[in-house]
């Protein structure tokens, strides 16, 4: 038996578009901050059959859709394939119990937390005979959800669009992207104040969205910009230069949303409320010289990253936004066995 917990992460340099959709091999590098709450806990036990039970934050049973069950099955199958490349025979059937503390409707996708916790559980089940490295666990997480690879580490984390040097030759494509830590959570305590405008329309999920990225005429230009942005973002983190971080993170988030908007079909995740909040944050920042930056994923939710000094003012600002749900979290330590 093995139990793990994990959390979501929010990207500063976004992952959007794959070079291989089935294996979730990204088209470029990305970089995120792992959050410390809310968490997902996954318990895995050897069983006669592969099975999954899932529970919501309030303890009620969650009925999984066929698509969700298929995704979990596929993840296990890909994990077996990957472990096979490491000469590990992982034919165990596992009963998984997923308990999510992530309230629905706060605009935090749970897939990164879920798949990083499952990767941790699979690794835990074979740890005695075959201990895996953190990078290898991140590859397993990635096979379920690309961004989940980054939740395997705490602090600031890059998802590298290449195999680790010692795996390149033996593992081929399946190991072709892994996560690595840029700086631990103790390096720079940043907060994420999350503003969730009322979610009206139904969104196209990231998995379908990644597959459309290549239809945008802006996508190739975006890919060319990523190496520079990764470097600037890494430098900003290592030197704790908030202004530099703000410039590059906002440039990248807005660029990703332009790629989404100009893809076929057009994906418009940002709502009028999102733009309103962005404008207000910009005005507030100019007025009060606050260390705060905004970033948005595949939805209208605005993440306001800020320093300890700016937190109080940013929190009040967030609570003033009418009709919005506000949730507060900060940098965290990533997935682990419990």
**Contact set with ligand DP6 (CB under 6 A):** 11, 14-16, 24, 30, 109, 111, 145-147, 206-207, 210, 297-298
* HSE, side-chain direction, 13 A CA sphere, residue 89: 0
- 83 vs 112 by CB, closer to ligand DP6: 112
* Nearer of residues 5 and 14 to ligand DP6, judged by Cβ: 14
Closer by beta carbon to ligand DP6, 11 or else 118: 11
Least distance in angstroms from the C-beta of 210 to ligand DP6:
6
Q: Does residue 179 contact residue 150 with C-beta atoms inside 8 Å?
A: yes
Q: Round to whole Å and give the CA distance between 334 and 116.
A: 9
| Structure-block tokens of residue 94 | 């596992």
CB of 120 to ligand DP6, least distance (A): 17
Query: Minimum distance between the CB of residue 313 and ligand DP6, rounded to whole angstroms?
Result: 27
Q: How far apart are CA 236 and CA 276, in angstroms?
A: 27
What would the DSSP string read from start to end of 300-326?
S-EEEEEEGGGHHHHHHHHHHSTT-EE
Nearer to ligand DP6, 35 or 310 (CB): 35
Least distance to ligand DP6 from the beta carbon of 33, Å? 11
Burial class (CB in 10 A: 0-12, 13-18, 19+), 323: exposed
Nearer to ligand DP6, 31 or 310 (CB): 31
Tokens of 83: 């472990």
Phi, psi values for residue 291, rounded to 5°: -90, 90
């Amino acid at each position: 038996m093995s139990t793990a917990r994990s959390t979501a992460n929010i990207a500063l340099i976004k992952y959007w578009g794959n070079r291989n959709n089935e294996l979730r091999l990204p088209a470029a590098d990305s970089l995120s901050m792992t959050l410390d709450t809310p968490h997902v806990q996954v318990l895995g036990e050897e069983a006669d059959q592969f099975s999954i039970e899932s529970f919501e934050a309030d303890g009620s049973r969650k009925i999984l859709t066929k698509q969700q069950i298929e995704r979990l099955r596929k993840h296990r199958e890909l994990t077996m394939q990957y472990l096979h490349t490491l000469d590990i025979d992982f034919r165990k059937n596992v009963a998984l119990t997923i308990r999510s503390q992530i309230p629905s409707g706060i605009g935090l996708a749970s897939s990164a937390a879920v798949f990083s916790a499952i990767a941790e559980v699979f690794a835990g089940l074979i740890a005695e005979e075959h201990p895996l490295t953190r990078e290898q666990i991140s590859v397993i997480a990635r096979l379920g959800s690309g961004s989940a690879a980054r939740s395997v580490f705490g602090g600031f984390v890059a998802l590298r669009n290449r195999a680790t040097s010692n795996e390149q030759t033996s593992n081929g494509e399946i190991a072709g992207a892994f996560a690595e830590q840029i700086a631990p959570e103790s390096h720079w305590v940043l907060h994420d104040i999350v503003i969730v405008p009322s979610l009206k329309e139904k969104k196209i999920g990231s998995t379908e969205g990644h597959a459309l990225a290549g239809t945008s005429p802006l996508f190739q230009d975006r890919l060319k910009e990523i190496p520079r942005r990764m470097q600037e973002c890494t430098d900003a983190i290592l030197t704790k230069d908030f202004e530099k971080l703000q410039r590059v993170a906002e440039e990248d988030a807005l660029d990703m949303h332009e790629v989404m908007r100009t893809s076929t079909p057009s994906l418009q995740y940002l709502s009028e409320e999102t733009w309103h909040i962005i404008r207000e944050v910009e005005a507030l920042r100019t007025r009060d010289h606050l260390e705060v930056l905004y970033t948005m994923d595949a939805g209208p939710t605005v993440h306001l990253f800020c320093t300890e000094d700016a937190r109080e003012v940013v929190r009040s600002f967030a609570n003033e936004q009418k009709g919005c749900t506000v949730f507060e979290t900060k940098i965290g330590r990533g997935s682990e066995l419990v």
